[in-house]
Structure 1
Amino acid sequence: MSAPPKSLLRRLKTSLVLQIIIGIIAGILVATFSPASAQSISFLGELFIKALKAVAPILVFVLVTSSIANQKRGTSTHLKPVIHLYLIGTLLAATTAVIISVLFPTTLILHATDIQATPPEGIIEVLNTLLFKLVDNPIHALSSGNFIGILAWAAGLGLALQHASQTTKTMIGDISNSVTKIVHLVIRFAPLGLFGLVASTFAKTGFSSLIGYSHLLLVLIGCMFFIALIVNPAMVYFKIRRNPYPLVFQCLRESGVTAFFTRSSAANIPINMELCRKLQLHEDTYSVSIPLGATINMAGASITITVLTLAAVQTLGIEFDIATAILLSIVASVSACGASGVAGGSLLLIPLACSLFGVPNDIAMQVVAIGFIIGVVQDSAETALNSSTDVLFTAAACISQSAATQKKNT
């Protein structure tokens, strides 16, 4: 047998994306031909996710603290345009979900079920959760992965350290660089981690249980694809005034794929940070915008809330007008921004949205149960859209600002 070409070996050593693709394919093959073996290697995926979740809070804290502490006076971080893109993108996603749900109505087969969770009673409760997370104890914020609290403390400490000696600032910068190197090491194990995740997921669930909800899944995934491939590129083009698709596909490939299988925006923060560094974006911008996006940039969550709410409404034959549909888009967008602060994520915010149409809470909770059933696909696609868009919008804002600065200088 001849040895593999040296060019292929070189590419395997350097291309993390290629290694991840190979890991995914290998996971599918193992799950298909040897399900028992797939279960035995599931610890690889669990270990990878746990490592990412462990390093993400520390990374965000030291990176944001270092960036602000070492920031020169008068330097702009360009965060405002990124936040604008986050909020507009989330609202457009909810609006798109309303339109597609009306064009392709979904009816569900509802049955009695028992959900061991309590949904929030209103928007005020969601906003209260976010505000209380903002003033969380810093040690608890780090241990629980509360990125709103981590950002608040890191920003405050960074501002205070701007008045520290240069030696202290250098030390903070060195700590940040050291944690970043640890993150690089963890990310190098992504192919093995995704191999374990894919194998265990396919071996446990497959897709046989999803056939009965194929229409609902098509509407959900169709909305997310439309946002990822039409709406987001249009927003990016409006910002950078050039072909957005190379950037869109790179973000989907290098951020969306890992987010799809980890199903955790928090776990994907280190991946996104690394991609931003690779794209040579402004560190002062992405060190804040990426963890912030993991909390408030929730296009996928707003789609899930809207589509499943309207599926319940259409199943019960409830009529609704344009004004109510617009209100649903706003409620879904605001609720989605608070999804990470509620146990159960976006699914447990469905009863809140259903209350706009007078849908009984027991019916709404049955819809939540359906959400958990299709979660192996729905939650994966939702996380992939949310997480990849964090990098996409951050890159668009940085590229736009860079182009404006060059134009001004010339």
Structure 2
Amino acid sequence: MKRLFEKWNSINLVNRIIIGIIIGVILALTIPEAVSGITILGTLFVSALKAVAPILVFVLVINAIASHAGGKSTNMKMILALYGVATFAAGFVAVIASFIFPTVLTLKTEAQDVAPPSGILEVFETLLFNIVTNPVSAIMNANYLGILAWAVVLGIALKASNDSTKSVMANFSDAITKVVQWIINLAPFGILGIVFEAISTTGLSALGEYARLILILVGTMFFVALVVNPLIVYAVARRNPYPLIFTSIKESGITAFFTRSSAANIPVNMALAEKLKLNKDTYAVSIPLGATINMGGAAITISVLTMAAAHTLGIEVDFLTAVILMVMAAVSAAGASGVAGGSLLLIPLACSLFGISDDIAMQVVAIGFIIGVIQDSCETALNSSTDIVFTAAAEYAKERKQN
């Protein structure tokens, strides 16, 4: 048994995940009645990720800021600028794609038990209150903006602490990271359960009706990942961006695709940053921060689904309104983790630009949930992989200026 366990762990994680997918498909097609016994694997895996991700972000950010020695330069200003530019660019591409490939939806489903924000002021109010919420409550409710705010404040306060205190924080950070790595190693079994549930209960027929919408969403995300982001990297680093892009997709994006959690993918990005020999003082902060605010995939989701709603209702979208949508999608996406339901529940806010009622908008949200098995996975893969891409790009840009 020990030998079998060691041999299994010696296989590359991506290959193990592929094996899990294949087994999940086979089981769903042969014994679909065994739902509760197999789907529990997926439920346990997702629950474990949700449980550990908030405390991971909290501890990592505190440790990174507290252990940062004065006088060490970081590239945080450039990284934040790259996060912002890339998120806006993603929304821009999504709007253009929606003009070129207009999509009409069949609005027949209803979203239940969700409450979208009523306006941009409510979004900002929610974000502000999430920032100043009780830290224990923030961790319990996975309020990442609140977690990030308290982690930054505590990290700054602990900068003046003695070395033994900082050592304890570093050890605790390493321990939590190790726990997440253990959970991610169980991904093949969890994904087996997730794939089994998706095929045995809903099948692929539910996705077939929305194939065009899925193709536009995924196609736009691929275009941003393989064209737009490389252009941004080249603009600042002046080097061939594709080795970095492909490495980040292979070692970060694929894992994020299956775990569907940017926060849980932080240790993967940290390990990749170390492998790329990036500045630890920079990536120790930029990667946890990016998991919270770098949301290009969310900007694409908001823009594409909102434009689909407008096309469905025959609403003519002028250039100025489209620009406002791009800006709103970028700003809203950056704070998506601070709004219950994430990017999908910000769609009614964007729909309000066109005078689309909440009843219609919430049907679009429901469609988002139906295609979420693909949309959310691709969105997370794009969001998480670009955290490492732009952290590295800022590092390369700094090296270029020094040479």
Question: Given the two structures, how large is their TM-score scaled by the length of structure 2?
Answer: 0.91
Contact conserved, 2:109 with 2:366, CA < 8 A, in 1? no
Q: What SS does structure 2 have at the residue aligned with 1:157?
A: helix
CA change 1:99–1:274 in 2 (3 A) is same
Q: 1:323 aligns with which of 320, 325, 336?
A: 320
Deviation, structure 1 residue 12 = 6.1
Q: In the aligned structure 2, how far is the partner of 1:402 from the partner of 1:20?
A: 37
Q: 1:384 aligns with which of 367, 381, 384?
A: 381
Q: Say whether residues 1:123 and 2:120 are aligned partners.
A: yes
Q: 2:299 aligns with which of 298, 302, 319?
A: 302
Spell out, residue by residue over 1:289-328, the C-alpha distance to the aligned partner (whole angstroms, 9 max, x if none). Answer: 2232222211111111111111121122222211111111
Q: Which runs of 5+ in 2 are unaligned?
A: 1-5
Q: 1:224 aligns with which of 221, 225, 229?
A: 221
User: Which residue number in structure 2 is paired with residue 20 of structure 1?
Assistant: 17
Q: What SS does structure 2 have at the residue aligned with 1:120?
A: coil
CA RMSD across the alignment = 2.4
Q: In the aligned structure 2, how far is the partner of 1:342 from the partner of 1:232?
A: 26
CA change 1:363–1:59 in 2 (3 A) is closer
* Higher mean C-alpha displacement, 274-283 vs 362-371: 274-283
Spell out, residue by residue over 1:9-49, the C-alpha distance to the aligned partner (whole angstroms, 9 max, x if none). Answer: 97961632332333333333333333345652222222222
Q: In the aligned structure 2, how far is the partner of 1:149 from the partner of 1:335?
A: 16
Map residues 63-78 of structure 1 onto 2, 5 A cutoff: 63-78=60-75
Q: In the aligned structure 1, how far is the partner of 2:116 from the partner of 2:191?
A: 31
Q: In the aligned structure 2, how far is the partner of 1:216 from the partner of 1:70?
A: 46
Deviation, structure 1 residue 70 = 2.1
User: Which residue number in structure 2 is paired with residue 101 of structure 1?
Assistant: 98
Deviation, structure 1 residue 119 = 1.0
Deviation, structure 1 residue 227 = 0.7
Contact conserved, 2:187 with 2:259, CA < 8 A, in 1? no
Deviation, structure 1 residue 251 = 1.9
AA of the residue aligned to 1:69: A
AA of the residue aligned to 1:137: N
Q: 1:267 aligns with which of 264, 274, 281?
A: 264
Q: What SS does structure 2 have at the residue aligned with 1:266?
A: coil
CA change 1:400–1:16 in 2 (3 A) is farther
Q: 1:250 aligns with which of 247, 252, 256?
A: 247
Contact conserved, 2:107 with 2:363, CA < 8 A, in 1? yes
Q: How many residues align structurally?
A: 399
* Higher mean C-alpha displacement, 99-108 vs 338-347: 338-347
Q: 1:199 aligns with which of 167, 172, 196?
A: 196
Contact conserved, 1:198 with 1:261, CA < 8 A, in 2? no
Contact conserved, 2:273 with 2:283, CA < 8 A, in 1? yes
CA change 1:61–1:349 in 2 (3 A) is closer
* Higher mean C-alpha displacement, 294-303 vs 169-178: 169-178
User: Which residue number in structure 1 is paired with residue 3 of structure 2?
Assistant: none
Deviation, structure 1 residue 329 = 0.6
Deviation, structure 1 residue 255 = 2.3
Q: Say whether residues 1:360 and 2:357 are aligned partners.
A: yes
Question: Given the two structures, how large is their TM-score scaled by the length of structure 1?
Answer: 0.89
Q: Say whether residues 1:241 and 2:210 are aligned partners.
A: no
Q: In the aligned structure 1, how far is the partner of 2:292 from the partner of 2:251?
A: 20
Q: Say whether residues 1:90 and 2:87 are aligned partners.
A: yes
AA of the residue aligned to 1:270: P
Deviation, structure 1 residue 88 = 0.8
User: Which residue number in structure 1 is paired with residue 182 of structure 2?
Assistant: 185
Q: What SS does structure 2 have at the residue aligned with 1:41?
A: helix
Q: In the aligned structure 2, how far is the partner of 1:153 from the partner of 1:317?
A: 46
CA change 1:170–1:262 in 2 (3 A) is closer
Spell out, residue by residue over 1:277-297, the C-alpha distance to the aligned partner (whole angstroms, 9 max, x if none). Answer: 333333332232223222221
Deviation, structure 1 residue 376 = 2.0
